[in-house]
Structure 1
Amino acid sequence: METYHPVLAFSTYADIILPLAVPKPYTYAVPEELVPLAQTGVRAEVQFGGGKRYSGLVLKVHHDPPPHPVKPLLSIIDDEPLLNEPALKFWLWLASYYCCSLGEVMDAALPANLKLASERRLVLSPFYDGNLSGLDDREFLITEALSIQETITVDDVQKILNIKPVLPFINRLLEKKVIYLFEEMQDKFKPKKVASVRLAEPYRSAPKLLEEAFELCATAARQTETLISFVQLAKEQGVATSGMEGIRRQDIYKKAGADASVLKAMERKGIFELFEREVSRLGGYEEELTEASDLSKQQVRTLDEIKVVFKEKNVVLLHGVTGSGKTRVYVELIREAIARGEQVLYLLPEVALTTQIISRLQKIFGSEISVYHHRITHNERVELWKSVRISGHRAGKKNSSACILGARSALFLPYANLGLVIVDEEHDTSYKQHDPAPRYNGRDAAIYLAHLHGA
């Protein structure tokens, strides 16, 4: 007798961590077109529960079909992993050691603008004929809002009606086929962009043709002055006129006394190209750097003793009362780590992360210091996350991710090349997270993170 085996619709599966307090990752099928994009550490759009969609994190890609039906991934959000191997191992350890779910670790670790969840929106049904006779006053208000604005959220409905709950009214409109609901997921992270200008082709790739551009402006004095100012600014700012980076339009306006109409006219002539350039929110340190004070004899001895212990152990405990000069020793250790091309994590209690300590370190290390705590914006957190993960620090290169000064949340950053971790005031109770989970000790977690990196 001939045996028939069912053909599986999917051959690739992914275990997904969701930013929820669920007991384990969930397995989803990977559609064929997403297989090349699915890898550990990227975010994937998935449906969970009813119609709600989330951005989960791919824990593992495999070919083991689960014994039950599974939903497919809807999309892969990232081109590159958000999480590297040491960071993922750190998550797994936290979940195991502190008895919580990976979802709770993910929720604590990722910046808010990297955690996406769909929002339920209302839109007028194509079957609705505009008949208002069957609607009460509140239902009429909702349909009126939808006639002005194509879609509105459930929160918008609540504001319009000024009542709670609003779902009964929404359900009545659904039953009357006046509206329908859909889920929409939008990226919360918005890159910072600056209006810029650069030379158009062929002038950008063939600077020798720039004379022709000047000839095109010969009868327009303001355009000629603007082109001269562009060349001068490029030289002052170290920007190649043949490059794609361009010059800020505001700089052109200020130097040439021009306005948007002049640049538009030059764009129409094919001289300039106007565009939006993505820039970092992680502002560099522009003031003059200062040398750290000379080490005292006691500080030199302490530094030597630390290095001796580091040859045998990875952890050193430094005793010293306030004002004893511990920070100066830290500065020397940070300087040496950066010189080796390593990243440094300098943890302080939240209350100790003052302008004074930040300013002191920036005066010595400049743009190589970045701060990660609750006072920076959600978008700045995302940019710093990506900077730490992608670039790390290379010896001899200035980089904003060389030394991270932060509260305990800085432990979750995906360090590319962590070489030194400093936990200042390690006895401080604020290093302990009580609620919500993971309920971890920042000092102990820092020791394990350093162990994972061989720091």
Structure 2
Amino acid sequence: MNAPRFAAVVLPVPVSRSYIYQVPSGGGLTDRVVPGARVLVPLRRRSVVGIVTETATDPPSAAVDIKPISAAPDDAPALSPALLALGRWMSDYYGAPLGLSLRALLPGPLWSVARPAGPAPAAERLFVLTGNGVDSLLERERRFKRSPKRRAVYETVEALGGSAPVSHLVNQLRLPRNSLDALVQQGLARIERVPEMRDPFAGLSSPPPPSLTADQQAAVRGILATPVDMPVLLHGVTGSGKTLVYLHVLRHLVDSGKGAILLVPEIALTPQTVARVRGVFGDQVAVLHSGLSDGERADAWRALRRGERRVAVGPRSAVFAPVQQLGAIVVDEEHEPSYKQASAPRYHARDAAAMRAQLEGARLILGSATPSLETLDQAAQGRIVTFALPDRIGARPLPPVEVVDLRSTPRIPAAETGVIAWSEALDGAISGALERREQIILLLNRRGFATFVQCPACGNVPGCPQCAIALTVHQTPPALRCHYCGHEEPIPETCAMCGHVTQRLRGLGTQQLERFVGMRYPRARIARMDLDTTTSKWAHHHILDRVARGDVDILLGTQMIAKGLDFPNVTVVGVVDADTGLHFPDFRAGERTFQLVAQVAGRAGRGPRGGRVFVQTRAPEHHAIRAAAAHSVAQFAAAELPLRTPPQPPYPPRTGLVRFVIATDDHARTAELAEKVAAWLRRAARERLDGMLTVLGPAPCPLMRLKGKWRWHVLAKSTEPHVLGRVVRAWRAKAHRAVSVDRDPQSLL
């Protein structure tokens, strides 16, 4: 009789421990309960899904009442050894409970049910090699001596990982069906029926990619010649064709039987992007993003895990895609702050990609026209190899940028524009482009109609009752809304404080800009793209498809229009107010402004007609504005890095940073707890860390109240990564619910 086995199971909850369960000897569970497997276990009076992290034959204690595992729903572990190791690394590096780190690795539906979520309604036929007796070259020669076509088919499927849909082999690869049947009859393959994947992108037109330029060819050769364990930065100006380089490198790897992951920012994950990838890889592509249904995401996850699809495309969470035989991870627009998760485990997808590539022996490729200062610093230290694409495709020049000083430049009279600062230079450029039937992009990185409403008599500004922030005015539909907690209330007709009848709208948002532009250029066809117009599943696609067809003359919106759009007929780009984020109380404010302005400037002049960019600002001498106007990353870095280097207060990349955010319902309690956190950190620095930790604070957060919680923060800095690692792991053991830990924070608000 076999000795009973026990399993350590981690649950997706914020506690720093595992739970011990017994593995029942019957029911086929013995072989399924292995590290990485999903299991259904009892917890108090309910059943929950957990992940097995260890198994053993010895019980932890004879006195413990150990409950049995209820079920193990999967034929194979949901997490590979490499992904399980990645989850452990995330827990240790970011100081998050292991359960929360592992929760991030799987799609949500797999945590809420005990079987793979959303079974597809139909099934497709999968051709699977059995591997019977053809491992040796001599045996292969004997088996296929009289049938070279059959051998070619066998080795083609072998290169695809040993399995592929029959429809793909016959229709896309043009393999003879009789050869497939013969391999089945020989016992060298079998046909399996598997759920057919629901693919919302199946109807996209996917044209083949254009030929590479000489610069692109050199970049592809250089990347493939670089040792696999050396990360690569592809630094190309906007319009230089970085995506084509990625796709050619990935095609080389996929053709050799490897899999790949392409990460793109959520707002850049458009059908246009998917179509370009599918033009190279066909139906080998699985798309993962939040706009898909639970069933569609589960289908994509299963197809990747089974090896039926070899290329995963998606935003931040796609870094955990179960791609088989992973050969490369590409992080496009690596500077994007959206790669950082805001909730625990608060991982950065770029850094998680680097660790996963290291664990699986895969290549890491970072790409950007405006790389983060952290990545530039790594490259300067020789830890990343850089390949440059200095020119646009077709040798088209980067568009000239005119910095418009709103303090002194001639402007359209306020009687015609209201609160909108509208320079004569931008106005004339738009009018001229419309006359020539060219297209215009206008950026204003602020949603809503007006920033706030104010009483002109007493100065009262309606604020959110849950957050320390003014409510934003919206007109479609009319309401005051909080962009942080979602609170909504009617726009007041009279002041709640003094009863004054007239209320004034202050500030500018994309809704008001849309109304003004429609009145200023009445014949123009206008589309607005921001969070309010893109909530439905295919909203991005419909808007951008109209632009591509030429049905839109002016596209205006927030930062989502600054990324990845390629419309050759766009000849004018206007940044309506470049100062919206420039003066935030955050050390990255200048960097974010530079990247946003430089990126949106790159949308102009991609066609034969060229283009111009107008940047309206009241800070024309700011180094972020000047560098963006010059399209120069080097100029920005040369001005910004000294501001983060001693004798100035050091900030990343000159030091590592951890942010402790304390949030409770009571302001006094929050302040008291923040003092205790700071005291604990200072004591640790003094007694255990040899003074290698600098502690700043505590202080109220710039956004001092959010969602009903009062917020303070404490910053911990160190140039030694292991010091910050010790700090976050020590705090994890304390597990205080009111304190969140954010290592490498992307925002200090």
Query: What TM-score range do you get, normalising by the shorter chain?
Result: 0.5 to 0.7
Amino acid at match of 2:257: G
Unaligned runs of 5+ in 1: 1-7, 118-185, 197-234, 244-275, 392-398
Distance change in 2, residues 1:306/1:434 (3 Å): same
TM-score calculated relative to the size of structure 1 = 0.60
Show the counterpart of 2:221.
304
**Corresponding position of 2:190:** none
Q: Write the distance in 1 (CA, Å) between the matches of 2:228 and 2:259.
A: 21
Local SS of the residue matching 1:14 = strand
The 1:283–1:433 alpha-carbon spacing in structure 2 relative to 1, beyond 3 Å, is: closer
Match of 1:440 in 2: 347
1:32 and 1:277, CA in 2 relative to 1: closer, same or farther beyond 3 A? closer
Partner of 1:402: 310
Structure 1 position 376 matched with structure 2 position 292 = yes
Q: Hey, what's the Cα distance between the residues in 1 that align with 2:305 and 2:230?
A: 23
Return the match for 2:235 from 319, 322, 325. Answer: 319
Change (3 A) 1:277 1:292: closer
Q: 1:114 aligns with which of 105, 110, 117?
A: 110
Residue 58 of structure 1 corresponds to 52
Q: Secondary structure at the residue paired with 2:232?
A: coil
Instruction: Give, as a single letter, the amino acid of the residue that structure 2 aligns with 1:300.
Output: Q
For residue 330 of structure 2, what is the amino acid of its counterpart? I
One-letter code of the match for 2:313? Answer: L
CA contact (8 A) 1:342 1:418 kept: yes
Matches within 5 A, 1:277-356: 278-282=195-199, 285=202, 290-308=207-225, 310-311=226-227, 313-356=229-272
Q: Which residue of 2 aligns with 1:74?
A: 70
Q: 2:325 aligns with which of 417, 440, 452?
A: 417
Does the 8 Å CA contact 2:223/2:232 hold for their aligned counterparts?
A: yes
Per the alignment, do residues 286 and 441 of structure 1 end up closer, same or farther by CA in structure 2, a change over 3 Å counting? closer
The answer for the alignment partner of 2:357 in structure 1 is: 450
Q: Which residue is 1:216 aligned to?
A: none
CA distance 1:47–1:453, change in 2 (3 Å): same
Decide whether the 8 Å contact of 1:346 with 1:423 is kept in 2. yes
The residue type equivalent to 1:86 in the other structure is A
| 8 Å contact from structure 2 (residues 34, 54) kept in 1 | yes
1:43 to 32, 38, 45: 38
Deviation at 1:305? 2.4
Match of 2:4 among 5, 11, 15: 11
Residue by residue, what CA displacement relative to the aligned partner does 1:415-448 show, whole Å, maximum 9, x if unpaired?
Answer: 221101111111111111121x111111111111
- What is the alpha-carbon distance in structure 1 between the residues aligned to residue 281 and residue 300 of structure 2? 17
Question: Identity over aligned residues, as a percent?
Answer: 34
Q: Secondary structure at the match of 1:338?
A: helix
How many angstroms apart in 2 are the aligned matches of 1:195 and 1:344?
25
Is the CA contact (8 Å cut-off) linking 1:346 and 1:424 kept in structure 2?
yes
Q: Would the aligned equivalents of 1:87 and 1:413 in 2 still touch at CA under 8 Å? A: no
| Contact 2:206–2:275 (Cα < 8 Å) also in 1 | no
Q: Tell me which residue corresponds to 1:200.
A: none
Q: Tell me which amino acid in the other structure corresponds to 2:296.
A: E
Q: Is the 8 A contact 2:49 2:112 kept in 1?
A: yes
Deviation at 1:289, TM superposition (A): 5.8
Q: Which of 9, 28, 31 is residue 24 of structure 2 equivalent to?
A: 31
Query: Structure 2 counterpart of 1:420, which letter?
Result: A
More strand by share: 2
2:311/2:323 contact within 8 Å kept: no
Counterpart CA distance in 2 for 1:66 and 1:9 is: 18
Structure of higher RCO (CA pairs closer than 8 Å, 6+ residues apart): 1
Q: Which runs of 4+ in 1 moved over 6 A?
A: none
**1:410 and 1:194 mapped to 2: Cα distance?**
25
Counterpart CA distance in 1 for 2:53 and 2:199 is 30
Task: Check the 8 A contact 1:344/1:402 in 2, yes or no.
Answer: yes
Per the TM alignment, residue 408 of structure 1 is displaced from its structure 2 partner at its CA by 0.9
Q: Cα distance 1:326–1:194, how it changes in 2: closer, same or farther (>3 A)? A: closer
1:193 shift after superposition:
2.0
Q: TM-score normalized by structure 2?
A: 0.37
Shift of 1:315: 0.5
TM-aligned CA deviation for residue 376 of structure 1? 1.3
User: Following TM superposition, by how much is the alpha carbon of 1:190 offset from its aligned partner in structure 2, in angstroms?
Assistant: 3.1
Following the alignment from structure 2 to structure 1, what is the Cα–Cα distance between the partners of residues 123 and 19?
A: 43
Task: Note if 1:191 corresponds to 2:124.
Answer: no
Name stretches of at least 5 consecutive residues in structure 2 with no aligned partner: 125-169, 182-192, 363-749
User: Structure 1 residue 312: deviation in Å?
Assistant: 6.9
Residue equivalent to 1:94: 90
Closer, same or farther: CA 79–371 of 1 in aligned 2, 3 Å: same
1:369–1:404 CA contact under 8 A, matched in 2 = yes
Instruction: Give SS of 1:115's match.
Output: helix
Q: How many residues align?
A: 297
Residues 143-187 of structure 1: per-residue CA shift (max 9 Å, x gap): xxxxxxxxxxxxxxxxxxxxxxxxxxxxxxxxxxxxxxxxxxx75
Residue equivalent to 1:218: none
Q: Is the 8 A contact 1:82 1:386 kept in 2?
A: no
